[in-house]
Structure 1
Amino acid sequence: MVPAPPDLRALAVGLGAWCGALLALVLPGMAAVASVLLVVALVGIGVRRRWWGPAWLGPLAALVAVAGVAALQQAVVSTSPVAALAQRGAVVEVRLDLTSDTRVVPGQYGDLRVVQARVQRLEGRGSAWSLDVPVVVMAAEDWPRLPLGTVVDTSARLVASDDDVAALVRPLGDPRVVRPPSGWWDGAAAVRASVRSVVAGRDADARELVPALVVGDDGGLAPDLADDFRTTGLTHLLAVSGTNLTLVVGFLLVLGRWAGVRGRWLHVLAAAGIVGFVMTARAEPSVVRAAAMGTVALLGLGRNGRSRGTRGLGVAVLGLLLLWPRLAVSAGFALSALATAGILLLAPGWRDALARWTPRWVAEAVAVPLAAQVACTPVVAALSGQVSLVAVGANLLAAPAVAPATVLGLAGGLLALLWHPTGTVVAAPAAWSAQWIIAVARTGAAVPTAAVAWGTGPVALAGLTLACVLAVPLAPRLLRRPGSALACTGLLVAVVVVRPPSPGWPPEGWVLVACDVGQGDGLVLRAAPRTAVVVDAGPDPEAMDSCLDRLGVRAVPLVVLTHFHADHVDGLDGVLEGREVGRVESTSLLEPAGGVRLVGEAVGAAPDVAAYGTTRQVGDVRMQVVWPRPGAGPGAAGESAPNDASVVLLAQVRGVRVLLTGDVEPSVQAALARDLPGLAVDVLKVPHHGSRHQDLDWLSSLGARAALVSVGADNDYGHPSPDLLTALTAAGMQVWRTDLSGDVAVVAREGGVGVVARR
Structure 2
Amino acid sequence: MIRQVRVDGRRDLRALPVALAVWTGQLAGNRLVDMLEGSATVTRVTFWCAAAGFIMLFGGIGAAVAYRYRYARRPGPVSNVSRPSYASMVMLLTIAGLLVGVFTVHAHRQSQAHDPAIRYSQSDTATLVSMEASVNTPLTASSVRGYDCQADIIITRFNAGRSHAPARVFAVGQQCASLDHGMHVRFQASLSPARYGSQPVWATDMTALTIISQPNAPRALANRMRHRFAATTARLSDQGRILVPGVTCGMLGQSYAGPADTGEIDTTYANQVEQEFRDAGIMHLMAVSGGHFILIAQLVLWACAACRMPRWAAALAVLIAYHGLAGLVYPSHSVLRALAMGWFSSLAMLAGRRHQAVSALSWSVILILVIDPSKATSYGFALSAAAVLGITLLNEPIERLLARRLPRTLAQAVSITIAAQALTLPIQILMEPSIPLLSTLANLLVAPFVSWSTITGLIALILAPFAPPIAFAAAWLSSCGTAVMAWVAHACGSPAWASLAWPSGIRGSLLALAAAIMMMSIIATACRLRSNGAGTRYRHPAGERITTWLAETRAMLDDSWQSTPRTDTSPPTSQPPA
TM-score, structure 2 as length reference: 0.73
1:188 aligns with 2:225: no
Equivalent position to 1:94, from 131, 139, 146 = 131
Equivalent position to 1:116, from 148, 152, 157 = 152
**SS of the counterpart of 2:187?**
strand
Q: Deviation string for 1:213-244 (max 9, x for gaps)? A: 11112141711111111111111111222222
Residues 1:301 and 1:390: Cα distance change in structure 2 (over 3 Å): farther
The equivalent residue for 1:385 is 433
Equivalent position to 2:169, from 137, 149, 153 = 137
Cα deviation, residue 26, structure 1: 3.0
Instruction: Tell me, in whole angstroms, the C-alpha distance in 1 between the residues paired with 2:212 and 2:419.
Output: 50
**SS of the counterpart of 2:497?**
coil
For the 8 Å contact 2:139–2:176, the answer to whether it is kept is no
Cα deviation, residue 346, structure 1: 0.8
Instruction: Tell me, in whole angstroms, the C-alpha distance in 1 between the residues paired with 2:448 and 2:348.
Output: 20
Residues 1:187 and 1:481: Cα distance change in structure 2 (over 3 Å): farther
**SS of the counterpart of 2:219?**
helix
Cα deviation, residue 439, structure 1: 1.3
1:173 aligns with 2:207: yes
1:63 aligns with 2:102: no
Cα deviation, residue 353, structure 1: 1.6
Cα deviation, residue 4, structure 1: 5.0
For the 8 Å contact 2:46–2:102, the answer to whether it is kept is no
The equivalent residue for 1:611 is none
Residue-pair matches, total: 474
Instruction: Tell me, in whole angstroms, the C-alpha distance in 1 between the residues paired with 2:349 and 2:437.
Output: 29
1:323 aligns with 2:382: no
Cα deviation, residue 76, structure 1: 1.6
For the 8 Å contact 2:319–2:343, the answer to whether it is kept is no
Cα deviation, residue 118, structure 1: 1.3
1:18 aligns with 2:23: yes
The equivalent residue for 2:248 is 214
Instruction: Tell me, in whole angstroms, the C-alpha distance in 2 between the residues paired with 1:303 and 1:130.
Output: 42
For the 8 Å contact 1:135–1:167, the answer to whether it is kept is yes
For the 8 Å contact 1:114–1:136, the answer to whether it is kept is yes
The equivalent residue for 1:82 is 117
Residues 1:306 and 1:162: Cα distance change in structure 2 (over 3 Å): farther
- Please tell me the residue identity of whatever aligns with 2:249: V
For the 8 Å contact 2:153–2:166, the answer to whether it is kept is yes
Spell out the pairing of 1:252-331 with structure 2 (5 A cutoff).
Answer: 252-283=300-331, 285=333, 287-292=335-340, 308-331=356-379
Residues 1:310 and 1:176: Cα distance change in structure 2 (over 3 Å): same
For the 8 Å contact 1:101–1:115, the answer to whether it is kept is yes
Cα deviation, residue 297, structure 1: 8.7
Instruction: Tell me, in whole angstroms, the C-alpha distance in 2 between the residues paired with 1:190 and 1:4.
Output: 43
For the 8 Å contact 2:154–2:165, the answer to whether it is kept is yes
Equivalent position to 1:72, from 89, 107, 121 = 107
Q: Deviation string for 1:314-370 (max 9, x for gaps)? A: 111111112221111111111111111111111111111222343332221111111
For the 8 Å contact 1:210–1:405, the answer to whether it is kept is yes
Equivalent position to 1:7, from 6, 12, 29 = 12
Residues 1:260 and 1:300: Cα distance change in structure 2 (over 3 Å): closer
Cα deviation, residue 91, structure 1: 3.3
Instruction: Tell me, in whole angstroms, the C-alpha distance in 2 between the residues paired with 1:7 and 1:170.
Output: 48
- Please tell me the residue identity of whatever aligns with 1:10: A
The equivalent residue for 1:598 is none
For the 8 Å contact 1:245–1:290, the answer to whether it is kept is yes
1:422 aligns with 2:481: no
The equivalent residue for 1:446 is 494
For the 8 Å contact 1:199–1:424, the answer to whether it is kept is yes
**SS of the counterpart of 2:246?**
helix
Cα deviation, residue 65, structure 1: 3.3
Residues 1:258 and 1:417: Cα distance change in structure 2 (over 3 Å): farther
Instruction: Tell me, in whole angstroms, the C-alpha distance in 2 between the residues paired with 1:342 and 1:297.
Output: 18
Q: Deviation string for 1:580-625 (max 9, x for gaps)? A: xxxxxxxxxxxxxxxxxxxxxxxxxxxxxxxxxxxxxxxxxxxxxx
Residues 1:284 and 1:263: Cα distance change in structure 2 (over 3 Å): same
- Please tell me the residue identity of whatever aligns with 1:103: T
For the 8 Å contact 2:147–2:170, the answer to whether it is kept is no
- The farther-off stretch of 60-69 and 179-188 is 60-69
Q: Deviation string for 1:87-133 (max 9, x for gaps)? A: 3315321112121233333546x34543221112222xxxx312322
Q: Deviation string for 1:713-750 (max 9, x for gaps)? A: xxxxxxxxxxxxxxxxxxxxxxxxxxxxxxxxxxxxxx
Residues 1:342 and 1:63: Cα distance change in structure 2 (over 3 Å): same
**SS of the counterpart of 2:406?**
coil
The equivalent residue for 1:152 is 185
Cα deviation, residue 188, structure 1: 0.9
The equivalent residue for 2:523 is 475
In the alignment, structure 1 segments of 5+ residues that lack a partner are: 483-759
Instruction: Tell me, in whole angstroms, the C-alpha distance in 1 between the residues paired with 2:433 and 2:8.
Output: 39
Q: Deviation string for 1:678-716 (max 9, x for gaps)? A: xxxxxxxxxxxxxxxxxxxxxxxxxxxxxxxxxxxxxxx
Instruction: Tell me, in whole angstroms, the C-alpha distance in 2 between the residues paired with 1:101 and 1:39.
Output: 37
- Please tell me the residue identity of whatever aligns with 2:32: L
For the 8 Å contact 2:10–2:356, the answer to whether it is kept is no
Q: Deviation string for 1:537-569 (max 9, x for gaps)? A: xxxxxxxxxxxxxxxxxxxxxxxxxxxxxxxxx
Instruction: Tell me, in whole angstroms, the C-alpha distance in 1 between the residues paired with 2:466 and 2:442.
Output: 36
Residues 1:217 and 1:307: Cα distance change in structure 2 (over 3 Å): closer
Residues 1:471 and 1:116: Cα distance change in structure 2 (over 3 Å): same
In the alignment, structure 2 segments of 5+ residues that lack a partner are: 1-6, 64-83, 256-269, 531-578
Write 1 or 2 for the structure with the bigger share of helix: 2
The equivalent residue for 1:699 is none
Spell out the pairing of 1:735-746 with structure 2 (5 A cutoff).
Answer: none
**SS of the counterpart of 2:465?**
helix
The equivalent residue for 1:638 is none
The equivalent residue for 2:510 is 462
Residues 1:157 and 1:38: Cα distance change in structure 2 (over 3 Å): closer
**SS of the counterpart of 1:387?**
strand
For the 8 Å contact 1:7–1:307, the answer to whether it is kept is no
For the 8 Å contact 1:112–1:138, the answer to whether it is kept is yes
The equivalent residue for 2:81 is none
Instruction: Tell me, in whole angstroms, the C-alpha distance in 2 between the residues paired with 1:435 and 1:274.
Output: 28
The equivalent residue for 1:204 is 238
Instruction: Tell me, in whole angstroms, the C-alpha distance in 1 between the residues paired with 2:415 and 2:347.
Output: 19
RMSD: 3.5
**SS of the counterpart of 1:171?**
strand
- Please tell me the residue identity of whatever aligns with 1:179: S
The equivalent residue for 2:295 is 247
1:400 aligns with 2:448: yes
* Identical counterparts, % of pairs: 24
- The farther-off stretch of 283-292 and 219-228 is 283-292
Instruction: Tell me, in whole angstroms, the C-alpha distance in 2 between the residues paired with 1:189 and 1:382.
Output: 35
The equivalent residue for 1:646 is none
The equivalent residue for 1:717 is none
